[in-house]
């Protein structure tokens, strides 16, 4: 079920209608990884299949980019012998691109060219996008691109390439995260806890879909773990270690705590994590964009590393007098630091009732889209329940 995408589909339908009348466009669908760009492309193609010639391609995340890989895909679908064309043009790009334009342009029906994941494009492919974008206005072609909105080097290259296309010939369509209402609707249809799924995913369509298919809302699907870890592995060694460190902080990690945890190099490492779309810079703190992504990274930590990071986090937090005791207890428990648990747990237990006496409104007056209200603790919480039995 595709929710909250009708506006985008109507925009695409309008651009396709213009292409059919000889006013071609480049259109870029932009959104974070997992926002649902590919699902939107599939839905649009399904509604256009009978009215246009559709040629599809995608860029690949290769260690050594394949020059013009998407153009080879498009040529194959158009049954154009591109290798022979390259030989005939002696490898010169502009004549080759001109040949491609002749192949893709047809007045019999509009042509939809799709290039997905443009943030992984090689320079030659970006040159082709520029070339076609500068000449597309008087054609029957709609060039549909998808790209991420992070601040990676690949995305910056995409922005530069699209910025060189005449403004009248290009449209950018945002693919936002799903709203809380949409997630609740999908969850209700599947008989699942929509509040829990929205808290974990913040509306990321890929994460929502995978959690709805999982055994429970608290389970971490292997598909999610693998997708998150694959993105994390592209970081430098220092930034990857920083991401591990941030993962042991529930909700957010204070910038000063991370500097105490990881040293002066932390600023550059954090910037790399942010630019790759894995963390958000909150000004005075950093957080994973999605709780489920934090869990994916944290669960991949070896037990010894998880304990070490939590012990270092505890030490960093202890240097600041304004930290809530419950946060200290959390890291002490995760670090298996029994002495610190014994020291701080009673204090946290005494503080808990004062901070948690918030009544839950009656079910009949609570909005179905409202965030869950913190529950009242009727007794002091048992902070030692997750400690090994032989350590208590």
pLDDT, tens digit (0-9, with 9 covering 90-100), for 135-174 = 999 999 999 999 998 877 888 999 999 999 999 999 999 9
What pLDDT does 1 receive?
67
Distance CA(206)–CA(33), nearest Å, equals 8
- Do the strands 279-281 and 285-288 form a parallel or antiparallel pair, or are they unpaired? antiparallel
> Residue 210: in which H helix or E strand, if any?
helix 205-213
Q: 143 by DSSP, 3-state: which?
A: strand
pLDDT at 88: 78
What pairing do the DSSP bridges indicate for beta strands 25-30 and 141-147? parallel
Instruction: Give the per-residue pLDDT at 217.
Output: 75
Query: What is the pLDDT at residue 353?
Result: 59
Residue carrying the six token digits 């773990």: 225
Concatenated DSSP letters for 72-116?
Answer: HHHHHHTT--HHHHHHHTTT-HHHHHHHHHHHH--SSS-EEEEEE
Tokens of 372: 């869950």
- Residue 355 CA from chain centroid, whole number: 34
The pLDDT of residue 382 is 47
Cα angle vertex 80, ends 78, 86, to 5°?
140
**Backbone conformation region of residue 104, classed left if phi is above 0, alpha if psi is from -120 to 50, else beta:** alpha
Stated pTM of the model: 0.77
Which tokens is 267 given?
A: 């600023």
Q: What pLDDT, on the 0 to 100 scale, is given for residue 142?
A: 98
In this predicted structure, what is the pLDDT of residue 381?
Answer: 44
Q: What is the pLDDT of residues 343-360, one digit of tens each?
A: 999 988 887 654 444 433
HSE-up (13 A, CA, CB side) for residue 323: 22
Name which of 318, 26, 43, 315 is nearest 145 in CA terms. Answer: 26
Q: What is the C-alpha radius of gyration for the chain, rounded to an integer number of angstroms?
A: 26
Strand 53-58 with 111-116, pairing: parallel
**H helical segments located in 233-337:** 237-247, 255-262, 266-275, 291-299, 303-318, 325-334
The strand pair at 253-254 and 285-288 is best described as antiparallel
Q: What is the pLDDT along the chain (392 residues), one digit of tens a residue?
A: 689 999 999 999 999 999 999 999 999 999 999 999 999 999 999 999 889 999 999 999 887 778 899 999 999 999 998 888 788 777 788 999 999 999 999 878 999 999 999 999 999 999 999 999 999 999 999 999 999 988 778 889 999 999 999 999 999 999 999 999 999 999 999 999 999 999 999 999 999 999 998 877 778 899 999 999 999 999 999 999 999 999 999 989 999 889 877 776 788 999 999 998 899 999 999 999 899 999 999 999 999 999 999 999 999 899 887 788 989 999 999 999 999 999 999 988 887 654 444 433 433 333 333 333 333 333 344 444 445 444 44
């Amino acid at each position: 079920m595709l929710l909250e995408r009708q506006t985008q589909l109507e925009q695409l339908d309008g651009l396709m209608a213009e292409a059919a009348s000889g006013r071609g466009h480049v259109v870029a669908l932009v959104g974070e990884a997992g926002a649902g760009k590919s699902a939107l492309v599939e839905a649009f193609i399904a509604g256009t299949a009978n009215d246009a010639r559709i040629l599809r391609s995608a860029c690949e995340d290769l260690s050594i980019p394949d020059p013009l890989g998407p153009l080879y895909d498009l040529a194959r679908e158009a049954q154009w012998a591109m290798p022979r064309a390259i030989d005939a043009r002696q490898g010169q790009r502009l004549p080759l691109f001109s040949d491609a334009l002749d192949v893709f342009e047809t007045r019999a029906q509009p042509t939809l060219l799709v290039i997905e994941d443009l943030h992984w494009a090689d320079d030659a492919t970006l040159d082709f996008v520029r070339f076609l974008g500068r000449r597309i206005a008087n054609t029957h072609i709609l060039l549909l691109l998808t790209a991420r909105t992070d601040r990676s080097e690949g995305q910056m290259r995409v922005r530069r390439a699209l910025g060189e296309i005449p403004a009248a010939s290009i449209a950018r369509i945002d693919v936002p995260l799903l709203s809380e209402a949409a997630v609740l609707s999908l969850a209700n249809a599947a008989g699942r806890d929509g509040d829990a799924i929205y808290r974990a995913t913040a509306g990321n369509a890929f994460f929502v879909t995978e959690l709805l298919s999982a055994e429970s809302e608290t389970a971490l699907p292997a598909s999610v773990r693998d997708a998150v870890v694959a993105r994390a592995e592209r970081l430098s060694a220092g930034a990857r270690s920083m991401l591990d460190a941030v993962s042991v902080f529930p909700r957010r990690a204070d910038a000063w705590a991370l500097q105490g945890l990881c040293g002066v190099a932390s600023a550059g490492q954090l910037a790399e994590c942010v630019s790759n779309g894995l963390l958000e810079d909150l000004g005075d703190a950093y957080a994973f964009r999605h709780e489920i992504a934090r869990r994916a990274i944290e669960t991949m930590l070896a037990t010894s590393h998880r304990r070490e990071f939590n012990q270092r986090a505890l030490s960093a937090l202890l240097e600041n007098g304004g930290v809530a005791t419950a946060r200290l207890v959390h890291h002490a428990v995760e670090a298996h630091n029994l002495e610190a648990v014994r020291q701080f747990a009673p204090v946290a237990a005494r503080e808990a009732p004062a901070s948690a006496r918030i009544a839950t409104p009656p079910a009949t007056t609570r909005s179905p889209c409202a965030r869950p209200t913190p529950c009242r603790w009727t007794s002091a919480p048992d902070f030692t329940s997750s400690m090994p039995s032989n350590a208590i």
